[in-house]
A and B are shown apart, each in its own frame.
Chain A
Amino acid sequence: MNTSTPKLPPIATLGPFIALLLACIFFATQSDRFLSLQNFSLILQQVMVVGVIAIGQTLIILTAGIDLSCGMVMALGGIVMTKFAADYGLSAPVAIACGIAATTLFGLLNGLLVTRIKLPPFIVTLGTLNIAFAITQLYSRSQTVTDIPEGMTFLGNTLKMGSTSIAYGVLLMLALYLVTWLWLRETAPGRHIYAVGNSPEATRLTGIPTDRVLLGVYVLAGVFYGIASLLSVARTGAGDPNAGQTENLDAITAVVLGGTSLFGGRGIILGTLVGAMIVGVFRNGLTLMGVSSVYQILVTGILVILAVATDQMSRKGVR
């Protein structure tokens, strides 16, 4: 069987980039404060949390799965790392590691339920979404944690770059996208993810351990959610138990807008970054235009339908 990454038809690959470009051109004509390096740096900062969550989500969606718990798990990670630092006086690196460990454990839980108990990912993560939310609320007693060490908010600080400044967290996000992109393209485990998404049965028959690949994807996604929770804490400067409530759908939106197919097996990780940027650009642009946030939600909905429709139409060509 040919296990090389399936080539996407041009429209699905270029579509997101074109959409982003058109959106930027539109907003540049509507507001003279849109087109600036500083504004773009701002937008990148605003999407960095969802952006990193969406890396994990992309991996899962590539296997034809889905993860509804990502936002709540991220919130749990944030509460664990901030409360561990505030309550037990742990140093920032140790507390951060604990937070990431917590989110990875949830990833493991999701993966085990999907691979061992053979439950559909939608159902599993619907359940773990609620479990993570409840644990976060109970453990934090619904109180925001503000007493956190300096080291934990470092990624929210910015680095001067020419005429603008860029947050360290954004640089981390971009680096993670680059590394994941290379990993998916060039390594065997990366290619296996596409193979499992394309056809789990055929993949299994060629001797690739499908269950292990799937489990690995959910655990790895958990790690990304942990990193995202650190970015969230760094950006807001606090451990917020009410964070992450809409991030699951935001992450799935970014993945879909980026051209990755919900049916698995096709998609480029960099497309997800573009998808996240599209949402951020609309939110920023509409605020600059003075348009209500309700319209941003409407536009996002329309774009999602267009993206999925494009994917469906291009699928007819390939198969």
Chain B
Amino acid sequence: MTEIFGIPLPALLGQLLLGLVNGSFYAMLSLGLAVIFGMLNIINFAHGALYMMGAFFAWMGLEYLGLNYWFMLGLAPLAVGLIGIVIERTMLQWLYKLDHLYGLLLTFGITLVIEGIFRSVYGVSGQPYQVPDALQGATNLGFMILPNYRAWVVVASLIVCFAVWALIEKTSLGAKLRAGTENPKLVQAFGINVPAMVTLTYAGGVALAAFAGVLAAPILQVSALMGSNLIIVVFAVVVIGGMGSILGSILTGLGLGIVEGLTKVFYPEASNTVVFVVMAIVLLVRPAGLFGKEK
């Protein structure tokens, strides 16, 4: 059997794949955070809670309504997006003129409320969610066994990430969005409805988080606390990548997932903390972040 640094190749590749899976979650969440921050000037702490909500909606859809995975993959982001619209219209919109920190505090409060609701109903233990039939099993690639579902997660999130990138960079809607990020007053003067755009940006960002949540449901246990641990890592990812560039967010997310996967192979004790260590190093070497612009 082929070995690299004393680690059998299939084990190494398996962890690498797992890292890529985590990395795609980081990529999708940090992408949403970056887009929201660009438009709203708010760091959405509730992103983790809304990701958890997406996963829970997938589980609830199957449990209560008998709707399968594929339905919920579309339905859960839609539902969470609607909740996002409500959150933005009723609460966030009052904060745009204030210091950034109030946005963080408010969304932190929202996180506690959402988590509290799911905890009081379902407790803290995880709910199992079956991998959909079409993606069960694994494919033997010769040099490794590839679990189909994990491969699907990586492919699906890559497609979604690049679709978002194309939407923002290559369409006229995206151009308006970028212009709105740069100078909202001027864009409004051209007759574009900026407040509606802001609302839709928030809805889109959290829908992306919910999509990640549905993808995660069969891999991780669906539990009320699954979002809060993730969001802190994603914050570190955002600090490392900087929020200036869309492609930068995607690459940083995937890259850190891989780094985490490799750490699990070579030094498992540090696998929880490696992203934070990378963050500390980046802060020392390049404080603005890998893809950020020095202000």
Asked if A and B bind, the verdict is no
Task: Tell me the A residues contacting B by CB distance below 8 Å.
Answer: none
Task: Tell me the B residues contacting A by CB distance below 8 Å.
Answer: none
